[in-house]
Amino acid sequence: MHLALVRHGQTDWNLAGLMQGRADIPLNATGRAQAEDAARRLDPADWDLVVSSTLGRARTTAAILADGLGIPVAGEYDGLIEQDFGDADGTPVSEIDERWPGREFPGKEPDAAVGPRGVRALERIAVEHPGARVLAVAHGTLIRHVLAELTGHDASSYPRLDNLTVSRTRRADAAWQVLTVGGTPFDEVLPSLSPAEPGRSSRASHDRPGASVAISERSCDGPVTPSRRGPTRAYDPEMEAPGSTTLVVVGEETSAAIGSLAGLANVESATFADMTDATDAEVATWSVTSRAPFVVHDRDPLGHVASAWVEFFDERSTLGVLQLEIEQAVGAIARHEVRVPDYYVVLEPESLRGTWMHWWLGVVAAASPNRVLPWEPGDAPLAGLIRRLPTARAWPDVDRWLPGVVRAVPDRFGPGLPGAA
């Protein structure tokens, strides 16, 4: 498929030079005229549909393009929304560096989370509109981070994108290739780009124009964090500490539950809620190289599959998205990029929203009933629960049971999935 990332038209905040992130500022008259002009310049024969972020300036731009080209608007995607600049929203750009040296604004979405979020949106568009030629109206900073994620470069080295500039990409054989950046061929932009920082997730090599990348590693949204143990890589099973048992804690308030384990000599624990730049592969490497008898954290390696399953049965996503997430998870496990834990500890399961409770106590528990442990904080200390657990090995047959979750309806509890233990 071909997908072009288009920056929305001008707003009054753009004109005034103000930081503009999640604030929903509408197009001004110039912005509307820019979108109308772009529709006249684009060839209707080249495009099948338009999608956009959920912010009004992108949605209006998309509607104008669609009307001018005679093609439909086919959806809005939260993943295409602009980076959240927190307290800096509405601040003159000229004052930013003086007020916040290093541009670390209170409430800011971490830079490292923006690109992976945008790429997941592109993958979802590709699944929901296979083979289509798509105009995706989004936002300047988001687009730069997505392009950088695809090519393995530092987003800050990408050039500023003017309103209604078009950056073209192509997806073939589950890989994305960047063709143009704001209308300029990628090979002309490449010499000015800087490689991503060491240790950051990289989805492409840097040494050729239009670098393509198969989508596999993803950063997850995931507050105490572990020490970093080197660059992103697949973990080596030979490094795995014998006898260590890994638990992933899921549900609400995981930070408090894991924090209660601090100081225990036989437990190494960490939370990743604020550590969005830690990749799944880094978490897996940290986990398997620990020498503690128990390793406890809250980064679920199947989190993307769980979210896709819940959204599918809540009628907020498609079967194709769920199948894609399953395929990527099985592949990542086979390549040792992630590691399924020995146990899941489900905090206060009765408080979980219905479909999520069915996922943990139905689907996952069906695959291995003794590996999913409901836990109410009032029952006993989490440390006591851990001490009573037998040591265990991670599930070896995820590729057998995980594809079957597409047939696991939310109201079904207990065994019954293919390959269930």
Both tokens assigned to 120: 């997941």
Structure tokens at 220: 């997850």
Please give the CATH topology (third level) of the domain spanning 2-214. Answer: Rossmann fold (3.40.50)
The upper half-sphere exposure of residue 322, i.e. CA atoms within 13 Å in the direction of its Cβ, equals 21
Contact 137, 76 (CB under 8 A): no
The residue with tokens 């890994």 is 246
- Could you list the active site residues? 8, 82
Q: Where are the domains of the chain?
A: 2-214, 237-407
- Give the residue among 80, 55, 209 at the shortest CA–CA distance from 134: 80
**pLDDT confidence of residue 288:** 75
| CATH number assigned to the domain covering 237-407 | 3.40.50
Residue partners of 241: CB distance under 8 A and separation at least 6: 288, 289, 290, 291
- β-partners of residue 213 are 176
Say what the pLDDT of residue 157 is: 96
- The confidence score (pLDDT) of residue 244 equals 72
Q: Which amino acid is at 355?
A: T
User: Bridge partners of 136?
Assistant: 5, 51
Bridge partner residues of 133 (DSSP): 2
> What does pTM read for this prediction?
0.55
Asked if residue 210 lies in contact with residue 186, where contact means CB atoms within 8 angstroms, the answer is yes
> Residue 82 is encoded by which pair of tokens?
């602009």
Encode the chain (421 residues) as per-residue pLDDT tens digits.
999 999 999 999 999 999 999 999 999 999 999 999 999 999 999 999 999 999 999 999 999 999 999 999 999 999 999 999 999 999 999 999 999 998 889 999 999 899 989 998 998 898 899 889 999 999 999 999 999 999 989 999 999 999 999 999 998 866 789 999 999 999 999 999 998 864 444 344 333 334 443 333 222 233 233 333 232 334 444 444 445 788 899 987 788 888 888 777 678 888 886 666 677 777 887 877 777 788 899 889 898 899 889 888 888 888 888 888 898 888 888 887 888 888 899 988 888 877 888 888 888 888 877 888 888 876 667 887 787 777 655 565 788 888 888 888 775 443 333 433 3
Please name the residues in contact with 15: beta carbons below 8 A apart, sequence gap of 6 or more.
28, 30
- Tell me if 2-214 shares its fold with 237-407: yes
What pLDDT was estimated at residue 217? Answer: 28
Using left for φ > 0, alpha for ψ between -120 and 50, and beta otherwise, residue 131 falls in left
Residue 205 confidence (pLDDT): 33
